Amino acid sequence: MKIFPAIDVKNGKCVRLYQGEFSSSEVVGEDPMETALSFEAQGSEYIHMVDLDGALSGTIGNANIINKVIVNINIPIQLGGGIRSIEVIEMLLKKGLNRVILGTAALNNPSLVKEAIKKFGDKIAIGIDARNGYVAVDGWKTSSKIEYIEFAKQMEDIGAKTIIFTDISRDGTLAGPNFEATRKINDQVSCDIIASGGMKNIEDIKKLVKMNMYGAIIGKALYSGNISLVEAITAGRGVVDAY
């Protein structure tokens, strides 16, 4: 299973939110570039980034920082937050971004997803953030009327290969992911599922591996020291290799 350490950027700094509430943002790193370099030095093979300002505004909000990380980091990076057009997707991929995550745009503009997947294939991932089982958008401020499994199936039908699933109520809580909801989406669609939200310890990572998840995003647990990135990477590789 692939481990994705998370860098959420707000006002140019690394922050963590609690249950998606922007008012709860806590600065966990002054320099996203230094954080990314640290993750790379610890052996990470991927990095997950979110432009929180972009998620709220609908446009890239930390462009200079994001560009700097993309250019200077030698491992694949996936980015979400405020990406709402083919032009922006193309620009980011040309700069060297490995994968673009569409969330709000995927729900509000399915034709954009179709066009993006047709043009860029598996460089496009879908972010499904759920609150009480329903998809939330616009920086998690707005809950839609579409159930998360239904939306996942719609994205699968369009051709999406990768879905990042977050239960917002668990995000930043260190309470453990929503295993039941995560297992359900993994069972219901053929897409690769990256589990996100609430990782609290290495046992959570091992359990997700046994559930045959494609990947896991770890945020607050890394910054708090609850999970060692090196240990998480080893657990992901080790359990998979044992099969």
Are the C-beta atoms of residues 7 and 36 closer than 8 Å to each other?
yes
Question: Do residues 147 and 133 make contact, with C-beta atoms less than 8 angstroms apart?
Answer: yes
Which of 51, 129, 171, 204 is labelled catalytic? 129
DSSP 167-227: ETTTTTS-S---HHHHHHHHHH--SEEEEES---SHHHHHHHHHTT-SEEEE-HHHHHTSS
CA separation (Å) from 47 to 111, 158, 166, 218? 28, 26, 16, 10
Rounded CA-CA distance 45/40 in Å is 7
The β-bridge relationship of strands 134-137 and 142-147 is: antiparallel
Residue type, 217: I
Q: How far is it, in rounded angstroms, from Cα 50 to Cα 99?
A: 12
- The single residue of 8, 51, 167, 171 carrying the catalytic annotation is 8
**31: annotated active-site residue:** no
Does the active-site annotation cover 129? yes
**C-alpha dihedral sign at 28, 29, 33, 35:** negative
Hey, which residues are catalytic here? 8, 129
